[in-house]
Structure formats: structure tokens, C-alpha cells
Homo-oligomer: A and B are copies of this chain.
Amino acid sequence: MLILYAAFHGVSRTLIRVSTPGKVTLFGEHAVVYGEPAIATAIDRRVRVEAERRGDDLIRIEAKDLTLAGFKALLSPNGSITLEGESKKVLAAISYVKRAVELIQEKYSVKRGAHIVITSEMPVGAGLGTSAAVAVSVVKAYSLLAGIELNKDECAELGYNVELSVQGIASRMDSTTVAVGGILYIDPKAEKTYEGIACRRGFEGLVVGYTNREASTGEMVERVKRFRDDVPEIVTPLINVIGEVARKARTYIEAGDFQRIGALMNINQGLLEAIGVSTSKLSQMVYAARCAGALGSKITGAGGGGCIIALAPGKEYEVMAALRAIGVSAFRASPTSDGIKVEEG
């Protein structure tokens, strides 16, 4: 339980409950940084934030279960959470909450005290958009507590600013996807920067495998940038092809052609290998999933450790078993149309 202090003013509702989904990137990570389209989807694992009015001007933040029970064993060999690593992650999570509250306070000149409790069904720092979900949830919950009604796009934009200010580098893809929900086609160069994609047959069969990160998102983005600066005649066309894969994938998702979606995931994985963001473990996970029957599998997120996704309709359990057999955590993750949700209490 950690406590932060801030000034306080005024009263509105007494208890707000907000939940926001995590996300996976289906296509286009890294290339989206250079203006290429990407496809991400909100998944049915959520971050929950409760914000309760306080009688004073304090902001009290409680981070309850920021890892899934299933991941605890992985993160520490003896089955319990290693204090060093976890407390750092919890502190990092707290800084998103703190910045989200500050942003609302600055922007809308409110100084309301609140008790904010955060729980997460996803591992933190794994590339599943947990930090974006925390930022967006707190923006929504704390602003509502102050009587301010923000729509999903506004929450996404403020969530993006929170991430930017905490991390120094951020992508609008994460905050938009978790705030809006659904499968989104993100095109940084288009007038409409995102559009929902409707999958004709419903989109099922996603499995997420998770291993420890060896490098942060920022480090991985920086590594690709240096690589591009070094051999632009090779890396620039690779980034363009990743964009082309995302464009093609959109049409296959709309058609519900899972075989072809899987094939494109495998191409995208090769391109991520080519730009140097895979690792021995991620590659092993990708092949374990394919050998267990996945139609396609790839890194999701920045790479350098973290998560893979596999598309394995009807073979989810086989793929999860194969991933667990090589010592990594795995869970099903269905796309969800629910973005940020408020349950008033």
C-alpha cells in the first residue's frame, strides 16, 4: 500500500468503478512508429480501478494484484513475488496513476482527494497495454469523481499523455485500443487515425505466451531506430513491408480468413526477426505454438522478451500446453469490443 499526497477541493460522486481491457498488437508493431498502419485488439483481460471520494485532500493509491496468480511462479523461482523486481514494477505502475491524477488536476483545475485501488488481470510491463489501461482507467475514474465526463477518445488522448510523460516515449495505439475496444486498424497517416475492423466470422483462438522482458519498449524502439540509421536501404523497405502486411491482414480479418491471417502473422514474425527484436526464447515460443497447431504466431509488442500471440482456433489448449512445456506462462485472450467501462457504485 503506497500513499501519495496532493491538494484537494470540491465533492461529486462518492465511488467510481472503471475497468479497461488490455490489448495485443496483431500486426505492425515498430513499423507504426514510422507511420505504417498497425492492427491491435482489446482483449478480455482487464485492469480495474476503484476511485473513492475522501474527506480530505489526499490521493491514496493502492495497487492490489498487479500480476496474474499464474505469473507469480514464473517471475520468481520459489513461487512468491520477488520483492525487488515487483516493488519496482508496482512503483512504476504507481507513477502512471500519479501522473494521470495530476493531468486531470492541472487540465480541469480540480484538487479532489481520492482513494484509488488498482487491480490487474495481466502482468505489468509485458507489452499487453497494462500501463495504458491503468492510465486510461485512472483518467476516467478520477475525472468522473470530479464530475467531469470525458469520452473514450479524450480518455485515450490523456492516457497517451500520461504514458508519454512517464516513459518519455509512447504510442497512441495502446491508449486508443484499450479505451475504444475492439479490433482497430491504426493508421497514423490517415485522417481517421483509427477504425474498427469487423471480423465476419468473429475473431477467436488467440493465445498469449509470456516470458520475462530483457529490454524495455523504449530500448527496443531505440534499437530499431539505430538499425534503421545504420542500414536505411534495408530497414526502411522492411518497415514498409510490415505496413503492407498490416494492410493485407485487414482484408483477411474482415473476411474471417484465419488461415491467411495466420500466414501473415508468420511473415510479420520473420520481419520482426529481421529488424532484430526477437530473442531465442521468443522464437522458441513462436515455433512451439506453430508446432502445436497454431495457424500463425508472432511476437506481440516491442519484443526483447515479453509476449507472443498465437492464432489457434480450436487448438488453444494444445498451444497453451506446448508453451507451458517450454516453461512459459500462457493464457487465452479473446478480442473484446468493450473498451473502457464504468460501473457506477
Q: List A residues at the B interface (Cβ < 8 Å).
A: 231, 233-234, 237-238, 240-241, 244-245, 248, 263-264, 266-276, 278-280, 283-284, 287-288, 290-291
Of all A-B residue pairs in the complex, the 5 with the closest CB atoms, nearest first, are: A270-B274, A270-B273, A280-B287, A267-B274, A273-B273
Chain B residues near A268 (CB-CB < 8 A): 274
* Residues in B whose Cβ lies below 8 Å from that of A263: 231, 276
Number of copies: 2
Q: Are A269 and B273 also in contact (CB < 8 A) when A233-B244, A245-B234 are?
A: yes
Q: Determine which of B237, B240, B274, B283 lies in contact with A283 in the assembled complex, contact meaning CB atoms within 8 Å.
A: B283
Main secondary structure of the interface of A (DSSP, over half): helix
CA distance A267 to B233 in the complex (A): 12
- Contact present for B233 and A248 (CB under 8 Å): yes
Given contacts A280-B287, A287-B280, contact A234 B267 (CB under 8 A): yes
Cβ of A244: which chain B residues have Cβ within 8 Å of it?
233-234, 237
Give the Cβ gap from A14 to chain B, nearest Cβ, in Å. 54
Which chain B residues lie closer than 8 Å to A266 at the CB level? 273-274, 276
Contacts of A274 in B (CB 8 A): 266-271, 273-274
A238 to B241, CA, bound (A): 7
* Chain B positions within 8 Å of A245 at CB level: 234
Task: List B contacts of A248 (CB < 8 A).
Answer: 231, 233-234
Q: Which of B233, B237, B278, B291 contacts A237 (CB 8 A)?
A: B237
User: Would you call B291 and A280 a contact (CB within 8 A)?
Assistant: yes
A270 to B234, CA, bound (A): 12
Complex: A237 Cα to B268 Cα, angstroms: 13
A284 to B274, CA, bound (A): 16
Contact (Cβ within 8 A) B287 A283: yes
For the A-B complex with A231-B248, A233-B244, A269-B274 known, give 10 more contacts whose Cβ atoms are closer than 8 Å: A231-B267, A234-B241, A234-B267, A237-B241, A266-B273, A266-B276, A267-B275, A270-B275, A270-B278, A280-B288
